[in-house]
Structure 1
Amino acid sequence: SIRDMQSLESLDLSKNMLYGEIPQSLSDLSSLSFLNLSYNNLMGRIPLGTQLGTLYDQNHHLYDGNDGLCGPPLPKSCYKSDASEQGHLMRSKQGFDIGPFSIGVAMGFMAGLWIVFYALLFMKTWRVAYFCLLDKVYDEVCVIAVFGWARLTGRTDARLLMSQVAWSSIDSDESYE
């Protein structure tokens, strides 16, 4: 492990596609005089220790390209509000971006809508069944609305209201052929 390398003086791990947190044992290496961890996918709090602080003072590009890192000596804090931002950065580094995903969902929705539209356009039995279903749903909604309104207003003549609704729907009934 890194902890056993007490005589290590220089360590360059830049551009190695490393991910995760920086181990605390790295800050215990007292002989380390050069460290470069730039351009990896490191995330989390930078371990506290005088050695890493001294190395950062010598090389300010030590943590460049690791957008998930936070805490001193970097200006980015490690509060919980930043955790969602770090998660978003990790997802975008791993190839998950919301833009193409939402475009794919929209295209799938449109394709499904067009399939249903063409099925209703060219298949008469489906079209008749679909509009009969719509009529039944409309009638149920009207019944629920009329009885609900009668209950709210305290009227007891809901049956009279229903007969008026039924006659008005019969008057406006059209053939589907």
Structure 2
Amino acid sequence: MNLIDMSSNNLSGTIPVQMFSLFGLSSLNLSHNKLTGKIPNEIGNMKNLESLDFSVNQFSGEIPQALSKLSFLSYLNLSFNNLTGNIPSGTQLQGFGELSYTGNSDLCGPPLTKVCFKLSDDKFKDRKPINEDGDESEFFPWFHIGLKSGFVAGFLGVFCVILLNKKWRETYVKSLNDLRDRLCVMVVNNINSFR
């Protein structure tokens, strides 16, 4: 047996580990079912696999590093699941297009536009990826707070200098009076031009 296609069969539960002992299999399609659980590491045993479609299921967890051992894999579709974490780096898995991974909101790393945190310590594993649009990021709220407080501080600084420095205050009041006079002249001219 070198091809299994059980797509759109309303299958549920987890994939039996025994399925990954089919070493001669070149194509496996389990798409459009209700399969759950993690993608087992044993998938790396299927060295002859050329096509893998697990799309539109409910798989969760990270993409196993063992998937990168499939050197003959030319088609991959893991879209529309609940996969999380980083797409294994330095492998052909990053050579597949974004469509192979779309619909997994917590998946990150190339070829997706989400950037992952570097996980140097286990305590950071629960942190969510940063979206370049700022959806999951904590950076942008703090950026906006800093921007607003900087504007307020700058405005108050200029206002206080004008208020406390007599020469600047007189210049500011004079420029406001000049502006008022110009506006009045402009309004009167416009009214006269319509007569």
State the TM-score bracket (shorter-chain normalisation).
Answer: 0.3 to 0.5
Which has the larger strand fraction? 2
TM-score, structure 1 normalization: 0.43
Which has the larger helix fraction? 1
Report which structure shows greater RCO (CA 8 Å, sep ≥6): 1
Larger radius of gyration: 1
TM-score, structure 2 normalization: 0.39
